[in-house]
Amino acid sequence: MAKLTFSGGIHPLGKKSATKDKPLVTIEAPELLYFPLSQHIGAPLKPLVSVGDKVLKMQKIADTDAFMSAPLHSSVSGKVKDIGMYLNHTNSKVPTIVIENDGEYQDAEPIHTKSIDDLSPDEMRKIIREAGIVGMGGAGFPTHVKLSPPEDKQITHLIINGAECEPYLTSDRRVMLEMPDDVIGGIRCLMRLLNLSKCYVGIEDNAPEAISILQEKTKNTGIDICVLKKKYPQGSEKQIINAITGKEVPIGKLPMDVGCVVINIGTVAEIYRALAQGIPLHRRIVTVSGDAVRNPSNLYVPLGTPFNALVDACGGTKEETHKIIMGGPMMGIAGISLDIPVVKGTSGLLLFSEKYAHNEAEINCIRCGRCVSVCPMKLVPTTLDMYSRKGDTETLIKNNIMNCMECGSCTYVCPSKRYLVQSIRVGKQKINALRAKEAKN
């Protein structure tokens, strides 16, 4: 079959060899675990426990009435030690529940006990929300929201995103290799939930083992394993939709507007565990890599574990760390401390030595056009950069700046080392601030 892809994009060094063949290592929960009440986009949560309370493993500890959010569960049993302000993955101090691990791992009741085949679509949606499931690829969009399209929107394509296009990261690959039955079980549930007879799984051609395992197991099931070209950002929602279905999500619209739902492969496995066994999302796979890490690994980590414990589990550092990245090197956020805990969206933790930590000084744009040819959203990054620096929001809007998904491809290729997406981001923030102000008046 021809390999599918989108137009534009870049080919950064994969850097996956350090961890791609390393089986998952489950790590022990540390003594103290931190559960920030802002884990992802959506409303912050309210704690359901108080300081001094005893909690069980997988017990719901925070929730909200807001639809655009998902509850949070403890990954250990123990005592609530504190509810206070601690660092989260956005480098800010936010309300956080701190739980002292009693080491006994007493489980709470499963979130439901029905047989998986008896669940109605609505029950499934409820369970998925109740299990706290959000997109595990990084953005953390609450999954039940994606699965609840408004009446007038017909979902025709279910796409499972196994295109792990960020360099270094291998957690999705390990899910496919080590939990293929959970993945396929989850896909079956979603097909039933959305009343679809077909599903597409997009996997990049640099994961042939994963492709063959899933192909083997999905014969005659209506699940179509689509081999995608290895290219960044193949795993971006709009790009994977384009590669597989040929559709373009219109500017400012959502995948569901073209009848598509895209779910990350790790999320699918969690969905299966929630529906089949009543297990809420309380741990995840984190790829720990980067040149400063002694023993790069794929860890299966209880949520709330501080990064320090992950680094220790990888044999510590072999070089002085100068940069911490949460997520992948293209879109991840640089962290200020290893005290930050793993949240639902933490797909990777990269530690870079001085050699990789610095970005170079920029020089003038020489108009080579590379940023234009790689931009998957077909923008002209150098022009956006220019107007962003001038603060000309009107022209920026005309040039579709809001369509930029901040994939960083433009900055990656620029031979003049210009901080393109960084300056575009500033422009977008300015426009958002203006709009918020207008909305208020």
Partner 1 sequence: MENMIVSSSPHIRDRDRTSHIMRDVCIALVPALIASVIYFGGRAVYITALCMIFSVGAEFLWQKLTGRPVTISDGTAAVTGMLLAFNLPVSAPWWICLIGSVVAIIIAKQFFGGVGHNFMNPALVGRAFLLASWPVIMTKWSAPFTTGFIIPADTVSSATPLAIMKGSLEGTLPGIFDMFIGNIGGCIGEVSSLALLLGGVYLVIRKVISVRIPLTYILTVAVLTFIFPSVGLSGFDSMMYNILSGGLFLGAIFMATDYVTSPITARGQLIMGLGCGILTFVIRRFGAYPEGVSYSILLMNVATPLIDRFTQPKAFGTVKEKKGGAQ
From residue 191 to residue 220, the character string flagging contacts with partner 1 as x (rule: CB under 8 A) and all else as - is: ------------------------------
Residue 193 interacts with which of partner 1, ligand SF4, none, CB < 5 to 8 Å by class: none
Q: Closest CB to ligand SF4 among 199 and 413?
A: 413
Number of chain residues interacting with ligand SF4 (CB under 6 A): 29
Sign of dihedral through CA atoms 254, 258, 260, 262? negative
Return the structure tokens found at 161.
Answer: 């995103």
Site residues (CB under 8 A) for partner 1, limited to 97-156: none
- Using CB under 8 A as the binding rule, whether residue 413 contacts partner 1 is answered as yes
The token pair at 300 is: 């299966």
Tokens 């103290």 locate to 32
Nearest to 63 by CA among 87, 39, 93: 39
Closest CA to 268 of 138, 114, 128, 150: 128
Site track 322-351 with partner 1 (rule: CB under 8 A), x = hit: xxxx---xxxxxxxxxxx----------x-
Least separation in angstroms between residue 383's CB and ligand SF4 is 9
DSSP state of 146: H
Residue 90 φ/ψ, nearest 5 degrees: -105, 15
Please give the Cα distance from 355 to 78 (Å, whole number). Answer: 41
> Shortest approach of partner 1 to residue 26 CB, angstroms?
26
Comparison of 65 and 360: residue with beta carbon closer to partner 1: 360
Asked if 368 is part of the footprint of partner 1 (rule: CB under 8 A), the reply reads yes
Q: Which does 424 bind (CB under 5 to 8 A by kind): ligand SF4, partner 1, none?
A: ligand SF4
| Cβ neighbours around 148 below 10 Å, total | 16
Question: For residue 205, with 0-12 CB atoms within 10 Å meaning exposed, 13-18 middle and 19 or more buried, which class applies?
Answer: middle
The residue within the footprint of partner 1, chosen from 106, 245, 295, 373 (CB under 8 A), is 373
Paired tokens of 428: 């977008």
Partner that binds at residue 272, options ligand SF4, partner 1, none, CB closer than 5 to 8 Å by kind: none
167 binds, among partner 1, ligand SF4, none (CB under 5 to 8 A by kind): partner 1
Instruction: Give how far Cα 341 sits from Cα of 87, 88, 281, 311, 345, Å.
Output: 8, 7, 15, 12, 11
Torsion angle of alpha carbons 28, 33, 39, 44, nearest 10°?
Answer: 150
Closest CB to ligand SF4 among residues 145, 163: 163
Q: Is 237 helix (H, G, I), strand (E, B) or coil?
A: helix
CB 305 within 8 A of CB 342: yes
List the single partner that 381 binds among partner 1, ligand SF4, none, CB under 5 to 8 Å by kind: ligand SF4
List the one residue out of 230, 179, 175, 171 whose CA is nearest residue 349: 171
List the x/- string, 223-262, binding to partner 1 by CB under 8 A.
Answer: ---------------x---x-----xxxxxx---------
64 belongs to the binding site for partner 1 (CB under 8 A): no
- Which residues, 348 to 387, sit near ligand SF4 by CB under 6 A? 365-371, 374-377, 379, 381-382
Q: Which of 5, 267, 298, 382 binds partner 1 (CB under 8 A)?
A: 382
- Complex with partner 1: residue 56 or 249, whichever CB lies closer: 249
Could you tell me which stretch among 76-84, 97-105, 207-215, 416-424 binds partner 1 (CB under 8 A)? 416-424
Asked whether position 397 contacts partner 1 by CB under 8 A, the answer is yes
Of 3, 4, 8, 5, which Cα lies nearest the Cα of 407?
8
Choose which of 335, 409, 423, 428 interacts with ligand SF4 (CB under 6 A).
Answer: 409
- CA angle (253, 348, 188) in 5-degree steps: 60
Instruction: Count the residues of the shown chain that bind partner 1, applying the rule CB under 8 A.
Output: 71
State the Cα–Cα distance between residues 118 and 148, nearest whole angstrom. Answer: 19
Q: Given the rule CB under 6 A, which residues bind ligand SF4? A: 365-371, 374-377, 379, 381-382, 404-410, 413-416, 418, 420-421, 424
